[in-house]
Copies of this chain bind each other. A is one copy, B any other.
Amino acid sequence: MSATPPALTYFPAARPATVEAVNIARRPRVGHIAFLNCLPIYWGLARTGALLDVDLHRAPPDELSRRLVAGDLDIGPITLVEYLKHADDLLLIPDPAVAADGPVLSVNLVSRTPLADLPAAPRVSLASTSRTGVLLGRMLLEDRYGRTPAYTVTAPDLDSALADADAAVLIGDEALRVHHDPDGHHVLDLAAEWKDWTGLPMVFAVWAVRRDYAEAHPGLVKDVHLAFRDSVRRSREEIGEVVASAARWEPFPPAALAEYFERLQFGLSERHLAGLREFASRASRYADIAPLRAGGPEFFATGPDTSL
């Protein structure tokens, strides 16, 4: 079972069945993306003791999406495209989310020539496994700009991405780096393009709870939701500290980090929901995604907030 005694576990999976009769509570299994864009979501959790009441699973986002869908997590982030595919099994939690109402800085189409000069059938590399960012790039290239690209998947750095391609969808560190240091490249912010096209914010990821878990443990889900909401609120109030903390470890100067955190939005307003619905409606033409149900997306009902 373990190498270090006394090994009384609070890993829920390792708890012997024999103890279940005594105390059946287990901490909710919650996913966390340890990426810079999610630092403000984690900020308060690491300062209030909220982490003591969750079984936190840190992993890359595609892995967390997979685990939530598989039922190996109870609550967690899920990239919008995967949420749309599995909306029947999930309820959205209103906070947090990862969205932008205009430029997001780190989801970019990068090319050597201006967009207008791209050929009718450009070679486009997808330097990311991000399903939502990649689908957003496809929508814009195909529907908005009338291109018929041939796509390839490459490593997530600019040189690899443009080695054999006319343009590349770049996401994350490298996209933000190229935004700040384009070195002659043309950089198109895809969230800004989305807003220009639709008038709406772009929602990249949502937090959801499995429907079966929410029905069995509404109080625990509410606690997690309020902890997340409080965490994001604190990160806004203490943004100078958040920036200083990030600048200690990340390859960007404080001003760039401050701008990035300012661009990112971590909640879902009515406008964000309209953007989410618009994306869902368009996405069903590209991917194996059923339309959202009427009145969707469906939320977990947190109920009156008595904690604040």
Question: Interface of A with B (CB < 8 Å)?
Answer: 1-11, 14-20, 22-23, 25-27, 33-37, 39, 42-43, 45-53, 55-56, 58, 60-62, 64-65, 77-79, 81-82, 98, 104-107, 127-133, 156-158, 171-177, 204-205, 245-246, 248-252, 260, 264
B204, A15: Cβ atoms closer than 8 Å: no
Q: Which residue of B lies closest to A257 (CB)?
A: B8
B107, A6: Cβ atoms closer than 8 Å: yes
Of B16, B65, B174, B204, which one neighbours A18 at CB under 8 angstroms? B174
A61, B129: Cβ atoms closer than 8 Å: no
Known contacts A10-B39, A49-B245, A53-B248; 17 additional CB pairs below 8 A are A1-B130, A2-B61, A2-B171, A3-B60, A3-B82, A4-B78, A5-B130, A6-B106, A7-B128, A7-B172, A8-B172, A8-B260, A10-B249, A18-B157, A20-B251, A25-B249, A42-B52
- Smallest Cβ distance from A172 to chain B, in angstroms? 4
Of B43, B130, B157, B173, which one neighbours A4 at CB under 8 angstroms? B130
Considering the complex of A and B, which 9 residue pairs feature the smallest CB-CB distances, nearest first?
A6-B106, A3-B62, A4-B61, A5-B133, A22-B251, A7-B172, A8-B36, A19-B251, A3-B79
A35, B23: Cβ atoms closer than 8 Å: no
A173 to B15 alpha-carbon distance, docked (Å): 7
How many monomers of this chain does the complex have?
Answer: 2
A34, B11: Cβ atoms closer than 8 Å: yes
Name the residue in A64, A133, A264 with the highest tally of chain B Cβ atoms < 10 Å from its Cβ.
Answer: A133
Contacts of A58 in B (CB 8 A): 56, 58
Of B1, B53, B79, which one neighbours A245 at CB under 8 angstroms? B53
A5, B46: Cβ atoms closer than 8 Å: no
B37, A173: Cβ atoms closer than 8 Å: no
Given A46-B49, A61-B2, answer yes or no on A35-B8 (Cβ-Cβ < 8 Å). yes
- Smallest Cβ distance from A151 to chain B, in angstroms? 16
Name the residue in A23, A39, A105, A158 with the highest tally of chain B Cβ atoms < 10 Å from its Cβ.
Answer: A23
Contacts of A81 in B (CB 8 A): 3
Given A10-B39, A10-B250, A35-B11, answer yes or no on A171-B204 (Cβ-Cβ < 8 Å). no
Of B23, B62, B130, which one neighbours A251 at CB under 8 angstroms? B23
A216 to B82 alpha-carbon distance, docked (Å): 42
Contacts of A46 in B (CB 8 A): 45-46, 49-52
